Amino acid sequence: MEASAATNPTTQTSPPSGDIIQVEDLVMHFPITQGIVFQRQVGAIRAVDGVSFAIKRGETLGLVGESGSGKSTIGRCLVRLYQTTSGHMYFGGDDLAQAKGAELRTLRRRVQMIFQDPYASLDPRMSVGALIAEPMVIFKTGSRSEIRNRTEELLTTVGLNPQFVDRYPHEFSGGQRQRIAIARAISIQPEFVIADEPVSALDVSIRAQVINLMQRLQQQMGLTYLFITHDMSVVRHVATRIAVMYLGKLMELSDRADLFTNPLHPYTMALLSAVPIPDPRVERRRQRIILQGDLPSPINIPKGCRFHTRCPIAQSICREVEPPLEDKTGRGHLAACHFSERVASLAKGSGTQGVSTAGTV
C-alpha cells in the first residue's frame, strides 16, 4: 500500500491550474453485513455513487441535496473520515483518497471542516482557548505564547471578546459556538474549508451573522469553501457554483446565476419550487411542483435515472438508461437528464423561474 502511494505519479495527476480540488468518480459504499461470526456482505448503502466535480481556488461550491442524498458523506470523504470505496480526490498534486501517514497529516493541515452542530462539535471539557489552539498545538505552529496570542487574535477575528479565552463552550450561545468552531478551523490557515450545514442549527437572526463572517474570512484569507447545505436560499447567497445531489449522484452542476434562472434538471426545478419565499404576494402567485413519494432507499437505487420514480417528466427511456452528467449549454452548465430541454416548460407558474424573470417585467 505504501508503494502505491509512493509510485503515484504526481506529475500526471496534478489538476489544471485554478482548480484546488478535483474529485473524480468518487464512490462511497457502506457495506451491510449479516451474521455474527462470519459476517458476509449482503448489500451496500450506496451513499455516494460516482461523483465528479472540481472546485476553483477562492470559490465557494455549494453542494445541495436533501437528507440521504450523500452530500455530507462527500464532505467526510474529503477529510478522510471515511476510507473511500473508489475514486480520486486530487488536492494539489496529491490524491486525498490514497494519502497515508505523514502525507495525510500534511494534507489535513490544509483542509479543515466546520460541522453543523456546534453543541456537539466542541468538547465541553476544553476551554475555548484550548479548543482554538488544539490544531496549532498538533501542527506545532509556534511557541506556547505565540499560540496564545494567535488564539486571542482569532477570537477577535471571529467577532468574540479575546477575554473569553478561558471560558467553556456551555457559556456560549449557538451562534457564538459556531464562531469558535470557525476560529478553530481557520487557526492553521487552511486553504480549503468544508462547511457541513454550518448555519442550519442557528436561529434566523444569528444565521446572517455567521454567513457574513464566513464570507469576510473567505475574502481576507483567500479560502476555498465547499458549502454543504439543504437550504437553497442560503446556497444562493453564498455559493459561486452549485452542485445538486440526489441519491448519491450529481443531478446538476452550474454557476449560480444559471442554475437559478435556467435549471436544467427536473429535480432542481422541484427543489426550487418547494422553497417557501418569505413574501405572501410571491407565495400566492406560485404554483409548486409537488414531488410524489419519498426518496428511494440508497440500498436499492432505481434502475435507469435514479430520479425517474418521482420525476414529473419521466419517459420510458428514463427507466432504462441512466443519463450522464454532461454539459448542456456549452458554457459549463452540466445536467444529468435525458429531457433537460423540457425542464423549462415545467416552470410555468411554479414561481421558480418567476423568481428571476417575472419580476423584471
- The piece of 18-26, 311-319, 337-345, 353-361 that touches another protein (CB under 8 A) is 353-361
Nearer to another protein, 288 or 342 (CB): 288
Q: Is 299 helix (H, G, I), strand (E, B) or coil?
A: coil
The only residue of 5, 104, 211, 221 in contact with another protein, by rule CB under 8 A: 211
Give the nearest distance from C-beta 63 to another protein in angstroms. Answer: 15
Question: What does the H/E/C string look like for 90-154?
Answer: EECCEECCCCCHHHHHHHHHHEEEECCCCCCCCCCCCCHHHHHHHHHHHCCCCCHHHHHHHHHHH
Q: Nearest distance from residue 62's CB to another protein, in Å? A: 12
Report, in Å, the least distance between residue 173 CB and another protein: 5
Residue 237 in the binding site for another protein (CB under 8 A): yes
Task: Return the residues of window 78-137 that contact another protein according to CB under 8 A.
Answer: none
Burial 265-276 (b: 16+ CB within 10 A, else e): bbbbbbbbbeee
Please tell me whether residue 170 binds another protein under the rule CB under 8 A. no
Residue 239 contacts another protein per CB under 8 A:
no
- Candidates 5, 130, 188, 282: give the one binding another protein (CB under 8 A): 282
Residue 29: phi and psi, rounded to 5, are -110, 130
Check binding of 265 to another protein (CB under 8 A).
no
Do the beta carbons of residue 58 and residue 18 sit within 8 Å?
A: no
Binding status of residue 357 toward another protein by CB under 8 A? yes
Give the residue, chosen from 108, 150, 236, 333, that forms a contact with another protein under the rule CB under 8 A.
236
Strand order from edge to edge, sheet including 241-246: 111-114, 192-196, 224-229, 60-64, 241-246, 249-255, 334-335, 326-327
Binding another protein (rule: CB under 8 A), the pick from 207, 241, 249, 265 is: 207
Using CA atoms, how far apart are residues 69 and 66, in angstroms rounded to an integer?
Answer: 6
Closest CA to 333 of 252, 265, 223, 213: 252
329 binds another protein (CB under 8 A): no
Task: Find the binder of another protein among 83, 102, 290, 316 (CB under 8 A).
Answer: 290
Lookup: cell for 262: 435556467
Could you say which DSSP state residue 295 is in? Answer: P
Question: Looking at 221, 274, 301, 313, which residue binds another protein (CB under 8 A)?
Answer: 274
Rounded to whole angstroms, how far apart are CA atoms 352 and 340? Answer: 16
Residue 215 binds another protein, judged by CB under 8 A: yes
Q: Kindly list the residues in this chain that would bind another protein in the complex (CB under 8 A).
A: 66-67, 173, 175-176, 203-209, 211-212, 215, 230, 232-234, 236-237, 256-257, 260-261, 270-284, 288, 290-291, 293-295, 355-357, 359-360
